[in-house]
Amino acid sequence: MVRPRNFVLSLLAFALPAEAQPQAVGIYGQWGAFRDSTHCYAISEPSQHRREGAQAYASIGYWPGRNIRGQVHFHFTRPKRSGSAVLLRIDARTFQLIGGGADGWALDAAADAAIVTAMRTGVAMSVETRSQGGGLMRDDYALRGAATAIDAAAIACAH
């Protein structure tokens, strides 16, 4: 669950210059929309935190200066095992992601669009892979508010 106060504070904890610090656009259910000087994004935390201090999240980003719209990104609690598949499930649909280190992305812009479309009508989402130690890493996300947050991030970067 996104806890707006802690969520915003944790995002601001990065030592960024004032002009690059994220500004909240809005909190919508389990998702938030933010913007900074270069991009806008919708973001959510996993429903349950497995380790204190670990910061996993799912985001959909917009970079107008690079003509990137609706880019799907997942950050895991720790690095994934090299060669392990990264699977994203949205209700009954499954998507394979590419990953490196502690991050995962859609294969291409068409996959980004398909994932965002599924998120708009979905109820639950999970992403899973294997950690470097071989254990299963899985993060579950509620999609309540995702469509509105995605739209708010897109609009924030349309100006």
Q: Give the model confidence (pLDDT) of 146-155 as tens digits.
A: 999 999 999 9
pLDDT given for residue 52 in this prediction: 55
89: burial class by Cβ within 10 Å (0-12, 13-18, 19+)? middle
pLDDT at 48: 78
- The answer to whether residues 72 and 115 touch, using CB atoms and an 8 Å cutoff, is yes
Interval 93-109: pLDDT, tens: 999 999 999 999 999 99
- Per-residue tokens: 53: 């201090």
Q: What is the pLDDT of residues 41-93, one digit of tens each?
A: 999 999 876 555 568 999 999 999 899 999 999 999 889 999 999 999 999 99
Residue pLDDT, tens place only, 29-53? 999 999 998 999 999 999 876 555 5
What pTM was estimated for this model as a whole? Answer: 0.83
Say how far apart CA 39 and CA 120 lie, in whole Å.
Answer: 21
Largest CA distance in the chain: 45
CATH, residue 136: 2.60.40.1880
Give pLDDT, residue 156.
Answer: 95
pLDDT at residue 3 is higher than 50: no
* Structural domains in the chain (count): 1
pLDDT for the residue numbered 51 = 56
> Among 54, 25, 6, 9, which Cα is nearest to 145's?
25
pLDDT-based confidence at residue 21 (cuts at 50, 70, 90): confident
Which tokens sit at 89?
A: 């499930």
Q: Is 31 exposed, middle or buried (0-12, 13-18, 19+ CB in 10 A)?
A: buried
The answer to whether 72 and 44 have CB atoms below 8 angstroms apart is: no
Q: Can you give the residue range of the structural domain that contains 26? A: 4-156
Buried/exposed 126-157: b ≥16 CB within 10 Å, e otherwise = ebbbbbeeeeebebebbbbbbbbbbebbbebb
User: Per residue in 126-139, pLDDT tens?
Assistant: 999 999 999 999 99
